[in-house]
Structure 1
Amino acid sequence: MPTSPPSSALRRPARWLPVVAACAVAAGLLQSTYNVLANDYRLGVALSLVLAVAQTVPLPLAPRRPLPAWAIVFAADLVGGFVLLSVDGVEGRAWPWTPPAMIGYLLVTAAVGLRENRRRLLVVGAATGATAVLPAVFPTRQENATQLLLFLLTGAVLLLTGAVRERGEARRALAAQREVSEAERARRTVLEERARIAREMHDVVAHHMSVITVQADSAPYRLGGVPPETGEEFAAIAATARESLTEMRRLLGALRGTDGTGAGGGELAPQPGLAELDRLAEATVRAGVPVELSVAPGPVPVPGAVDLSAYRVVQEALANVVRHAPGAATRVSVASDRTGVSVLIVNAPAPAPGTPLESGGTGHGLVGMRERVRLLGGELDTGPLPDGGFRVAARFPVAAVPSGPSVSSGPSETDPAEEAPAP
């Protein structure tokens, strides 16, 4: 049987708390308003009860429908002020607003300020200020200028609650924009990483496909005395390889978001692999991070795509150590068997407390690692350690990737900074 999540179950009672509080306030004001009208202003029992109900019962409506609640209370207070003109108890007392009516009016005004826009707040303030002319039109012998006091208090309440509402709206809008920006940044990072992986895999796969094409085309000439049927078979193999190479380039071009026509020579530069980890470790040591490297060769050659991706994971992990934990001792272990390649990078906490080279991060490096590993059907596990260090573990299967020698023999990009993770 489906159940609602705990968070939604907790939010349901919270939505009713303002209504419950408004009901409690209305009940208290109902009694005090009746007593003031009946005893102090010497209004009749029936009229006192009717006015008390009209001025206080709409208060529970204010948390959900503040503007209608304000209109009802405002009209009831005005009617009450005119009714009080017919009794003798108004002399020397507050008019047209009784003390309980002022309290209820300020409360419903606060609800309006927290929910409505500026234009409606101006209408409420103007309507409240218009009551200041009532004593001039209907002169009484009352002593308290409550209309001016209420106008000032209403303006202060509207300013305060309006500022609180606008601040909350601004914070919500900023949080929503931040979420959109983070989502867009993460999406752009994934696309950039996919484009980079597509370029590198293009180099790896294109190498093997080109070798197949050349061997199939040259086989009849190299071998000599090849029967016509066999020559036709070699020609078919070469044609299929060329067609596959064209389709692969078109597919990878779509993955990169380009037309697949290729770019500069940097896209065709040889890519690094696990054989280049020694140079990567040396560059990291020069950046101030001691690195212990352990590479255990496996019984079978590592496929080029896995070789490159494993190198990239190590490179990004070491770059993160340089940026966020400078000087931390780091251990890199690479082992392979007949089923896959395992990569483990573990760094200790920074040797001395201090300001890291980058105090914050967007997590794009981890996003790139995860995307790279996922595309090869592998698994990635990252997270902090109890002693304050960090761990990155990746496992690349080799069964799902065509095997073959790694084609990496040089730097990864034309930018030399890519080789060394130093900041």
Structure 2
Amino acid sequence: MTPPGALRAYPDPIMSPSPAGPPPADGLLSAARRNLRELAHGLSHASHPPTPLLAGSPRRWLRLLPYAVVVALAAVFIPVTIQVLAGDYGVPGGLAGALGVAQAAPLLMLAHRPLQAWWIVLTADVLGALVLLGQEPEPGTIWPWTPPAVVGYLFVLLALGLRESRRTVIGVWLTTGVAGLLLYALASARSGGNGVLLFVLGGLVLVIGAAVRERSEAQRRLVEQETISEAERAQRTLLEERTRIARELHDVVAHHMSVITVQADSAPYRIGGLSEEARAEFASIAAGARESLTEMRRLLSVLRSDGTRGELAPQPGLDRVQQLVEATVRAGLPAELSLEADVAEAVERGGVPQAVDLTAYRIVQEALANVVRHAPGARTRVSVTARDGHLTVLVVNDSPEIPGSALETSGTGHGLVGMRERVRLTGGTLDTGPLPDGGFRVAARLPLPPPQPPSASVTPEEP
């Protein structure tokens, strides 16, 4: 207990340490050590596989170009370096040959291993500079780097800038500057030093190489993105066409299902003497048809995009091809139609399936639209024939009267995609392509059901 009259000591809130302070910040020394470790890792580990610079080029001469360049560099710099060391700097012949080979032969590695070549060239250049300290050079010579060593070293730095990462490039540049500074400290009294010159030129070459590398990398990524976008666009176009075909075929299938429902419901009234089992079977057929219609309507509501409503007009067929061609002629396209009488008669009596009838009409419609867009004014011929159990739709157009007058020079391919999907749905074949005279041809061959004999047809009795 505190005695009476004594002062109670309270801790000073300003002087007392906080029990939970902020975490210690990363100091300069730790950040410097971390950056040095990253630079050392970049200098000791190449950031690319040992493949040539243009290994992925589709042309063979481009793939061989890096090898030709490095062979030419080595063939030029090896004898020149030996001659300069022996003639201008007074290095003995054997030692000059060894140094010349060590400084210039690694240029052969620039095509696939530039980082390893840089280590060898840097070590050889430093050893050559130390050897030159004990020689009596000719007046006017420079030190510590000989002219061939400077030029060859710049080629090495250019190869590094084109292949290595930015961290490795910075490490190479700093190492070059440190090497030149240490050599200058060993012989500060010697005139003609070019360590700063190599440091500046090396930095410039590295920046140029890195800029070219990053630009090529950006172009490659752009090409990849365009390729992906084109593939996604083609896939989206295919899905849109399939959805459109499914919406149109809904009306065709729904018509047949409605007919089945009506026939099953009216069978007990049209056919007398049916047993209870037969009546129950017809009722089950009608209920199944109604359920199928309900499921189809639900599927159609999913296929339709938001905010769109179904078309109330019936789906077109070959009976409206004549109107389609006449409308195209009124739009300024000279078009002719050849529709065989057998085809028109088969359409009238229902001998052409509705899916085939709709597909044939859409093919003619899309082909004429393509002629209007890509070959305005071209003479076009439309032919619809029936041979050997197949319906053949042929649309051929000549070259446009005025070259270069196309409304669209590069098509999206949506029309051809829709044609192929429709023909594939009916089990037919489609042949499209340009003609030798500059026109275009669209030929579709759609299967027809075999004709039924007269005895197979049954006329229902009136209810």
TM over 0.5: yes
> Which is greater in Rg?
2
Distance in 1 (alpha carbons) for counterparts of 2:254 and 2:312: 10
Percent of aligned pairs with the same residue? 57
The answer on 1:197 being equivalent to 2:241 is no
Match of 2:114 in 1: 66
Q: Is 1:319 the equivalent of 2:363?
A: no
Q: 1:37 maps to which residue?
A: 85
Distance in 2 between residues matched to 1:23 and 1:69, nearest whole Å: 14
Q: Does 1:388 align with 2:408?
A: no
Per-residue CA deviation, residues 151-204 of structure 1 (Å, 9 max, x unaligned), is: 444344334333332232222212111111111111011101111111111110
> What does residue 418 of structure 2 align with?
368
Q: Which deviates more, 364-373 or 150-159?
A: 150-159
1:52 is displaced (CA, Å) by: 1.9
Tell me which amino acid in the other structure corresponds to 1:60.
Answer: L
Q: Is the 8 A contact 2:184 2:195 kept in 1?
A: no
What is the CA-CA distance between 1:268 and the residue it aligns to? Answer: 5.5
8 Å contact from structure 1 (residues 330, 347) kept in 2: yes
Distance in 2 (alpha carbons) for counterparts of 1:78 and 1:205: 85
Query: How big is the shift at 1:313?
Result: 1.0
Q: How does 1:106-117 map to 2 (within 5 A)?
A: 106-117=154-165
Task: Tell me whether 1:295 sits opposite 2:339 in the alignment.
Answer: yes
Instruction: Rate the CA distance shift 1:177–1:229 in 2: closer, same or farther, 3 A.
Output: same
- Give the superposition deviation at 1:244: 4.6
Q: Is the 8 A contact 2:242 2:421 kept in 1?
A: yes
How far off its partner does 1:39 sit? 2.5
Partner of 2:402: 352
Q: Which residue of 1 aligns with 2:171?
A: 123
1:68-147 aligned at under 5 Å gives the runs 68-89=116-137, 92-130=140-178, 133=181, 137=185, 138-143=187-192, 146-147=194-195
Q: Which amino acid in structure 2 is aligned with residue 187 of structure 1? A: Q
Contact 2:333 2:379 in 1 (8 A): yes
CA deviation profile, 1:193-237 (whole Å, cap 9, x unmatched):
111111111110110111111111122124444333432332233
Partner of 1:258, secondary structure, is helix
* 1:57 CA drift (Å): 2.4
Tell me whether 1:150 sits opposite 2:194 in the alignment: no
> Distance in 2 between the 1:107 and 1:263 partners?
64
Q: One-letter code of the match for 1:305?
A: A
Contact map agreement 2:103 2:125 (CA 8 A) in 1: yes
The alpha-carbon deviation at position 89 of structure 1 amounts to: 1.5
Partner of 1:414: none
Deviation per residue, 1:19-57 (Å, 9 max, x gap): 354244224322222222122211233432332232122
Deviations 1:263-283 (A, max 9, x none): 864256421111111221122
Distance in 2 (alpha carbons) for counterparts of 1:228 and 1:353: 74
* d(CA) in 2 for partners of 1:398, 1:160: 68
Equivalent position amino acid for 1:393 in 2: A
**Are residues 219 and 312 of structure 1, via their aligned partners in 2, closer, same or farther at CA, if it must alter by over 3 Å?**
same
1:330 aligns with 2:374: no
Query: Given the two structures, how large is their TM-score scaled by the length of structure 2?
Result: 0.75
Instruction: Tell me which residue corresponds to 2:21.
Output: none
Letter in 2 for 1:370: R
Match of 1:209 among 257, 265, 287: 257
CA distance in 1, matches of 2:57, 2:223: 24
| Deviates most, 76-85 or 260-269 | 260-269
The one-letter code of the counterpart of 2:160 is V
Matches within 5 A, 1:204-243: 204-243=252-291
Aligned to 2:25: none
* Equivalence for 1:272: 316
Q: Could you tell me whether the CA contact under 8 Å between 2:265 and 2:282 is conserved in 1?
A: yes
1:55–1:76 contact (8 Å) kept in structure 2 = yes
TM-score, normalization by structure 1 = 0.82
Equivalent residue, structure 1, for 2:98: 50
**For residue 150 of structure 2, what is the amino acid of its counterpart?**
M
Change (3 A) 1:346 1:220: same
User: CA separation in 2, counterparts of 1:271 and 1:315?
Assistant: 13
> Aligned with 2:267: secondary structure?
helix
**Mean Cα displacement is larger for which, 183-192 or 90-99?**
90-99
Assess if the C-alpha contact under 8 Å between 2:335 and 2:379 holds in 1: yes
| Aligned CA distance change for structure 1 residues 264 and 213 (closer, same or farther; 3 Å) | farther
CA 1:310 to 1:156, structure 2 compared with 1: closer, same or farther past 3 Å? same
Letter in 2 for 1:356: A
**Hey, what does 2:26 align to over in structure 1?**
none
Mark the runs of 5 or more structure 2 residues left unpaired by the alignment.
Answer: 1-54, 453-463
- Listed one character per residue, the Cα deviations across residues 385-412 of structure 1 (whole Å, up to 9, x for unaligned) are 1111111111111249x9xxxxxxxxxx
Task: Give the match's secondary structure for 1:391.
Answer: strand
Query: Given that residues 129 and 143 in structure 2 are in contact (C-alpha distance below 8 angstroms), is that contact kept between their aligned partners in structure 1?
Result: yes
Asked if the contact 1:203–1:268 (Cα under 8 Å) also holds between the matched residues in 2, the reply is no
> Match of 2:6?
none
**Which structure ranks higher in relative contact order (CA pairs < 8 Å, sequence separation ≥ 6)?**
1
Shift of 1:344: 0.8
Paired residues, what number?
390
